[in-house]
Amino acid sequence: MGFWVMGPVQRFRRAAPIVAIAALCAACAASGYDAGSVRRHLVAAGVSPAAADCVVLHMGPRFGEARLGARAAPSAKELAAERALLRACGVTLPR
């Protein structure tokens, strides 16, 4: 089923993790890893403060600060791990 053929709830469910991951990638790649900046970007993207805290708390140990501060694009494996982390932290975006 095409993205625009879906109902609004289905589009939201598919787009929400993409928005959150884009916010994470932008925040991490801006100028090195800054947990406060990542948290602010996530909250600005609509992630609850509690979920943003959970994500930031677990990102460093899971990926390492050197990798988070790197300017290289994330690998498919890293994106999958980030999606799993978002789900584990209960990330949901407002409708």
Q: How many CB atoms lie within 10 A of CB 20?
A: 26
Closest to 59 in 3D by CA, of 32, 25, 30, 82: 82
pLDDT at 88: 92
Q: Which residue has the higher pLDDT, 5 or 43?
A: 43
pLDDT at 50: 93
Q: The whole model's pTM is what?
A: 0.63
C-alpha–C-alpha distance, residues 68 and 62, integer Å = 10
Q: Which two tokens stand for residue 88?
A: 């584990």
Which spans in 1-95 are helix H? 8-29, 35-44, 49-63, 65-69, 76-88
C-alpha–C-alpha distance, residues 12 and 17, integer Å = 9
Could you report the per-residue pLDDT of 48-66, keeping only the tens digit for each?
A: 899 989 988 998 888 887 8
C-alpha–C-alpha distance, residues 47 and 86, integer Å = 10
